[in-house]
Chain A
Amino acid sequence: MSTIEVENLTKVYRVNKKKPGISGAIKAMFKREYTEVHAVNDVSFKIEEGELVGFLGPNGAGKTTTLKMLSGILYPTVGTAKVLGFTPWERKNEYRRQFALVMGQKNQLWWDLPAQESLYLNKEIYNVPDDEYKKVLDEMTELLQVKKLLGVMVRELSLGERMKFELIASLLHTPRVLFLDEPTIGLDVVAQKNMREFIKEYNRRTKTTILLTSHYMNDIQALCDRVIIINHGKMFFDGGLNEIIEKFSASKLVTLTFENGVVEKAQLAQFGEVLEYEKLKAVLKVKREDVARISAKILDQWSVLDINIEEVPIEEIIQKVFVSSEPTA
């Protein structure tokens, strides 16, 4: 049995559709119009123990709604899910003791308490033994460099510091499954890197199953070998990160540095789309299957100092996937 099994999961919201302006507000008092929003639409996947899977999609795609159903916060409209053998929305304590949810945009610690008290309260809620609590706390506060902030009220911490404590709080009870919803959002570059390294190392060491949503491709590329892409509630892809490139990117980028002479832009255009052009340097977008042949031709034709062949940036590929997965009017 997989650690996470999701089958035909669907969540439909009935949303009040109010017309703009005061007349719209008055009409809505007497007669309301509703529209159905399929936040998650027939999503199915399985995740095995120890996997670190990226859940990718634009805003409003259904990523967070899916995580909320797997955390038991929301009931689905249709479909089933099993996490560690439990149905999440039954909210059994045995299940709640084995998973954790960290939401980058929602504070879950107690705002009016010092960080240490908030963590201690979490320890007691999860019934973590004293010696284990001390060990985990010492280790994590050292790793994330927040030990000196333990006495500070949660409300007085910066966003990055608070996110670190949110992560520590979620890991105190050594969960078997961890749901991370945009954990690096709003963090500076250094903090993002620290967070990513910590998550990767934690997953490697403890074999915790992690499902991570993020808008930052750096997060996905650094952490996830497998990615699930979702848009408008529907799944469009489930597979390795490399497979996205092969499946959705028909081209590669060829960067040329010429030794001497002038190569006209029009001359290069016959080989592919010219993305950048300078006197001695050009970047071409070439169809994947033609790269070898065209590279050979270019090398034959001109004196090339350097040639670099690389994939189209993954952000561009993902953006195309999102656009292509938009429903047609």
Chain B
Amino acid sequence: MKSLTEDLFQGTPIRKYWVILSTRTQEDMAYRANYILGALFRFLPLVTTIYLWYAVFYSPGYAGSGRVGNMSFPDIVSYYAIMFVARGFSSMPGMTRDISIDIKDGLLNRYLIRPMSYFWYQTMYRLAHKLIFWLAALITFPPVFYLIRSYLQHVPTALEWAGFFISLLIAFWVGVLFSFLVGCLAFWFLEISTFLFVIMTIEFFLSGHLLPLNLLPSAIVKYVQWLPFGYEGYWPCMILIGKVPPDQMGTVLGICFLWVGFFFILVKLCWEWGTRRYSAVGG
């Protein structure tokens, strides 16, 4: 008996990408141990982060105001909990490495000779990973959020919910496009493992994953908050915990759409220039 999705998009140009998504999803689920372990322990870093900030706010001898910058402890807990949701959309583990290996080892050939887009192939591949991630997260995240419910004090408005969901979609595209661009560096530098480390470290910091960006010195925040990395985590969190005034929501999201548009153009250019340099080693 055919499944409901077996003939989805039949006869359309996107059919092949649907099949890629479906196949890769099934492939990921086949690695059961990896899947189960990931599902069970995905939230572990959240626990350690909360304990760290608890120590910052409540360590003996601390005579603070109960706030760090304009963030209270409940704000911080909410921020990091939502950060896990946001990074679940924007982080693309392995994508840059896989692309660089495909370029360096001549494995790109199989994609270049077929009537398909390598960019969309990689996007579907990562979307498959995301589907698997969220399938597991739907089981593990609710209990975690229930446990920290007393700290989730802000009740988002309808606008904030809408802004948050839009920002998650934007976070996915920023993650995919940026990772693809960095992977394309292999067209020019072949061995990019050190580049990857440096760039990913910077991205991790500027996404607000390590530290909310608004806790940085104001002279720095003024500029870094508008970099694309902030949309991978910082801005979705700030929207949902009520730190973005309604009159600024449009500006915040609008700037990100510009970044996504810019990245799309840059991806197309890098691909055109890069494939001209591609040496297709092997064979």
Contact = CB atoms under 8 A, between A and B. Distances in A.
Interface of A: 13, 64, 68, 71-75, 91, 93, 96-97, 99-101, 103, 105-106, 108, 110, 112-113, 117, 120-122, 124-127, 181
A29 to B, nearest CB: 13
A74 B113 contact: no
A113 B27 contact: yes
Interface in B102-154: 106, 108-110, 112-116
A125 B109 contact: no
B276 interface: yes
Contacts of B282: 105-106
Contacts of A121: 19-20, 23
Contact of A105 (B27, B116, B283): B283
Interface string B1-36: 000000000000001100110010001000000000
B276 to A, nearest CB: 5
Contacts of B110: 108
B16 A73 contact: no
A127 B113 contact: no
A103 B109 contact: yes
Contacts of A112: 27
A181 B106 CA distance: 15
A13 B283 contact: no
A91 B112 contact: yes
Contact of A73 (B19, B112, B116): B112
A181 B113 CA distance: 14
Nearest to B12: A127
B145 to A, nearest CB: 34
Given A96-B114, A103-B283, A105-B283, A127 B278 contact: no
A74 B27 contact: no
B193 interface: no
B115 A106 contact: no
Contact of B278 (A64, A74, A105): A74
A105 B278 CA distance: 19
A187 B112 CA distance: 27
Interface residues of B, number: 22
A110 B24 CA distance: 10
Looking at B15, B27, B278, B283, the one whose CB has the most chain A CB atoms below 10 A away is B283
B114 A126 contact: yes
B68 interface: no
B16 A127 contact: yes
Interface of B: 15-16, 19-20, 23, 27, 106, 108-110, 112-116, 275-276, 278-280, 282-283
Contacts of B114: 96, 122, 125-126
A96 B16 CA distance: 15
Contacts of B108: 73
Contacts of A181: 283
Contacts of A126: 114-115
30 contacts: A64-B283, A68-B109, A68-B280, A71-B112, A71-B113, A72-B112, A73-B108, A73-B112, A73-B278, A73-B280, A74-B280, A93-B115, A96-B113, A96-B115, A97-B115, A99-B113, A101-B109, A103-B109, A105-B282, A108-B109, A108-B110, A113-B23, A113-B27, A120-B19, A121-B23, A122-B114, A125-B114, A126-B114, A127-B15, A181-B283
A319 B279 CA distance: 29
Contacts of B280: 68, 73-74
B195 to A, nearest CB: 16
Contacts of B115: 93, 96-97, 125-127
Contact of B23 (A91, A117, A127): A117
Nearest to A91: B112
Contact of B113 (A13, A64, A72, A117): A72
A125 B283 contact: no
A279 B16 CA distance: 71
B16 A124 contact: yes
Contact of A13 (B106, B275, B279): B279
A124 B15 contact: yes
A2 B221 CA distance: 63
Nearest to B27: A112
Given A64-B283, A68-B109, A121-B19, 11 more contacts: A71-B112, A71-B113, A73-B280, A75-B276, A91-B112, A99-B113, A113-B23, A120-B19, A120-B23, A124-B19, A181-B283
A104 to B, nearest CB: 8
Nearest to B26: A117
Contacts of A74: 278-280
Contacts of A124: 15-16, 19
